């Protein structure tokens, strides 16, 4: 557990300190988006990848970077603490699952979230290639958010049908 916390703390430090240092040259990584003549609304900020404008907004493409800019180191630590709590609660639900199918459901959900979290943090720090993998409960996109909450509902269902809850139901049926 100590190694896990130390590793997550080092990732948080790296994510918080790597925000301005991600660009290889002196150009800023997040640059103001060029305004087109036909546009009437402001475009916000675009992310430059290898010197090319990506055309996407920064908070949409890399939400951890936008969070680190707005809330700093403590905001990134708070987000990582929430993710750690989510994973630990998921492991506890998996341990108390009433059957193997419930255990597999919860472990697959946790594995998917862990992969997405680590990949997205690695992309923010510049350790992994930039892909389209979203950050759970942070990335913009309604369908991805709906899927995450449906997965939380599956975990809640496994929790409702856990071993010790089944024992209490059997005990109540005999009285």
**Greatest mean pLDDT among 13-22, 45-54, 60-69, 74-83:** 74-83
For the chain, the domain total comes to 1
Mean per-residue pLDDT over the chain, rounded: 75
Helix (H) / strand (E) containing 56: strand 52-57
Collapsed DSSP state (helix, strand, coil) of residue 129: coil
**Mean of pLDDT values over 32-41:** 50
SS3 state at 75: helix
Cα(46)–Cα(36) distance, integer angstroms? 13
Evaluate if pTM is beyond 0.85: no
Domain range enclosing 139: 2-174
148 confidence band (pLDDT: 50, 70, 90): very high
């Amino acid at each position: 557990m100590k190694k896990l916390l130390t590793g997550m703390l080092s990732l948080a430090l790296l994510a918080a300190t790597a925000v301005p240092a991600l660009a290889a040259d002196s150009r800023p990584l997040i640059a103001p988006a060029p305004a087109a003549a036909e546009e009437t609304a402001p475009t916000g900020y675009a992310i430059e990848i290898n010197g090319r404008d990506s055309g996407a907004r920064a908070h949409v493409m890399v939400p951890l970077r936008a969070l680190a800019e707005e809330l700093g180191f403590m905001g990134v630590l708070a987000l990582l603490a929430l993710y750690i709590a989510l994973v630990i609660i998921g492991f506890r639900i998996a341990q108390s699952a009433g059957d193997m199918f419930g255990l597999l459901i919860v472990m697959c959900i946790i594995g998917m979230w862990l992969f997405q979290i680590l990949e997205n943090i690695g992309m923010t720090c510049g350790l992994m290639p930039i892909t389209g993998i979203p950050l759970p409960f942070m990335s913009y996109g309604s369908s991805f958010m709906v899927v995450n909450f449906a997965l939380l509902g599956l975990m809640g269902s496994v929790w409702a049908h856990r071993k010790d809850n089944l024992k209490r139901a059997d005990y109540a049926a005999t009285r």
